[in-house]
Structure 1
Amino acid sequence: MKSKKLDTTVGGYMQDWDSCIKDNNSKLHHPANFEERFVREILAHVPEITPQDIVAQYHFQELDGCNRYVDFCIRNDKKGYFVLIELDGKWKQQRLEELLERQNTLIASTQGKLLRFANSTWLNKAPIVIQTISNTLNEQNKHFNEKTRTEALEHKIKEQQESVEELSKQIQIHKANEQKELGESTSNPF
């Protein structure tokens, strides 16, 4: 697994993540500081992303119009990333029915990929969580690139078909003009 080198110099890599944490401080509120720790210990080590790709407390609406938030969203339209991450503590496991309803609404309303990690998992198995996020992002990027290439190819084919149609029309007009000129020249000897 590739890992970004941590650089604590001003303008360096870690400084960017520190700024991200500072800018989102009001959204990274957890009694045990889990959300900030998740940024520092997990997201900062996912080589595919930068702090600019992270949205803390991503907003969505449930089917009944209730406003909800998911802990993190990794979103980069240029790379095709749209991954939602929810950290689950013990209280969420106790309210399973509400949790499942919220999860289904989230997936349906955003068309994103949802990853759920128990706090005990990311705290004790950080490399696996980092790799899971990386694999998900790479898969999304692969599909995005394939879709982009297919759309570009389809656009090019359409342009070429339009060019062929235009050339065919011009050839027909040219032939009609030639026929007309031939007809005029044979009927008028002078």
Structure 2
Amino acid sequence: MKTYHSRISFLISFFLVLSVLVSCTNFQRAINTKKLNVPEKPVDNFLVLFVEYGDEITVLDEEHYNKALKGKFNNLEHQRFRDNMSDVSWNIFSPTLAFDYRRIFDTHKEYSFADFQKGLDQPNLEYVLLINMKNNDALGEVLRRNFQVFLFDKNQEDPLWTGFGYYNPGNLNQKGTARRLLNRIKKDLIADGLIMS
């Protein structure tokens, strides 16, 4: 009987520790989201782009492109994480069509704003989902990362939607990290009525 109770106690302790560890490595839903310009119909396609930029991206114009995206949305530094996002985004966002940036833009090539806009001129591509890693700070041995996400109509400078506060201390180079981040973004886009589930 004593062995049975000790096994039960061990299993309960194990699952409590495991749930704490899992909650520490999962992305949480955004702290804040805001719909700025709601499209007439749900968004059914977008190009997923990822950058690391510490300041605000308030509009997608030439000035902000040159500061925040030029040479960063396709750089080598975060290529593995970006590729992981591209690999899983088509499945996560389905039925929304998630375009793979690798089919449009070359890696580690600098594009002018005009060339970037030409790249967006693809059949059935109307929107850009821009994921910005704002913080990548060390807190002891753990990295603190906050992500801000924007949904843009490719023909408008102002975002349709933004979400801030996706947080994860996990390893960016693991495919599971990209999957968790995109799943949280999807939940917020659905909750705010921008995409269909």
**Common fold: TM-score over 0.5:** no
Which of structures 1 and 2 has the bigger CA Rg? 1
Greater helix proportion: 1
Q: TM-score, normalised by structure 2?
A: 0.29
